[in-house]
Structure 1
Amino acid sequence: MSDSATLAAAEAPPPATAASPLARIYGQPLTQLPLDLYIPPDAMAVMLDAFEGPLDLLLYLIRKANVNVLDIPMAPLTEQYLVYVEAMRSQNLELAADYLVMAAMLIEIKSRMLLPRPKVDAGDDAEDPRAELVRRLIEYEQMKLAAYGINELPQAERDFEWVEVWVEKTLLRRLPEVSVLDLQNAWLGILRQARLHTHHMVQREELSVREHMTLILRHLRDAGGFVEFGELFDPQQGAPVLVVHFLALLELAREHLVEMTQVEVFEPIYLRLSDERSESRQTTA
């Protein structure tokens, strides 16, 4: 809340002599004021210090008098405060309401300090009537200093301006490479599925890695695109066939005949043929 003290011209200046005109209008000297000129009492208002409330005014008076906030002289402080409130109330009674409440508190504290204090025990300290006021002033000053520090920080559109720059560029999406750990986890998942379909019949079976390489290439060629890793294995064929099939897949990867991709970490692994020439050469062999 901004407060102002109004200064009005008390009397009109005496008539000026010819040597010192009051003013010049269009180059012509004005030696006498017009008789019908009316100057209102509040023609000139001078803005003095602005305060945000009664605590702000009290803190200003204390710092101006250079006194310790823990030992406030209530008599001169109350007198200065009442002078200010009286000047402000003559301008705007509604705005002075909060200040009148503080004035009543100051008068009460001043009166309590003039009265004799009751006797207290040797180990107890007498309560200071100013304690509550001092506490509020210290808290207010801390908040005011914190607000001042925040206001000193750089602020947009006051200390600097935002600048937006549009940059057009094409981003190449790079898919993560398949790590050995991802391949191992996928293989362990196939083995867990195979154990659910195992039986105890022991038999000898000759399996060809080259034959399974051809089966994998044929499967990928018929799919015509990406094939999920688990689709290349049939858990019902048993663990021996799955092992040979997996070795065939590793051999194809070593010879760069198949390509493994993965969209994100822990996502399914997909396979596809590297190129048609490698596929044709492997099928012929």
Structure 2
Amino acid sequence: MDIKLKDFQGPLDLLLHLVSKYEMDIYDVPLVEVIEQYLAYIATLQAMKLEIAGEYMVMASQLMLIKSRKLLPKVVETIEEDDPEMDLLSQIEEYRTYKLLGQELALQHDKRAQYFSKPKLELVYDDVKLNHDKTSIDIFLAFSKVMAQKQEDIKNSHTTIERDDFRIEDMMTSVEQAVAKKGQTNLSQLFKRAASVNELITIFLATLELIKVHRVYVYQADNFSDIILTKENV
């Protein structure tokens, strides 16, 4: 099964996506929360054995340094020439500016292109369209949060439960039945019922496939609210 997640144009693009979900000024966002989401995203890619570009790992190390500095108690206020936190926020702000400019230029290009005849092109649309401008990355971020907690729980547990025979097709049936039973179900609760990391990953892939073939639908009322799976397209 070919499951493709949204590709970001580098770590700053991912950070901008995470920051923009707070719908506030970049310099006011809870940076530690953003860093934790970024690190959970990278850890989940690693757990799923997906390829990660080196620049994402470099950024991850920088973010861990910033997080550790923010969590340490400040005994004495000192003036530092270098402030990695402000440097990072400035980079994100600058990246957003250039990205918006690039989008505006692309829009102008598209408008200008309408004045010329062009050969017929085959239009290809994404099979998955989520309401409120939600994409598969929002589901992945919700999955990453549960994955991080599940890995911690398994590490602290005295018993190990692992199976390698989970099939996506079987899990699709299980997920679809869970949704059909009440008409809808909370995505995080669906993830939390998994007893192992392998089962958790299989549930995630099965859910994406069900969305792709329109056997279940997804909606989220607001940023950071629960992601709901439903049988009806809301």
TM range (shorter): 0.3 to 0.5
Higher strand fraction (1 or 2) = 1
The structure whose RCO (Cα within 8 Å, separation 6+) is larger is 2
- TM-score, normalised to structure 2, is 0.43
Higher helix fraction (1 or 2) = 2
Larger Rg, first or second structure (1 or 2) = 1
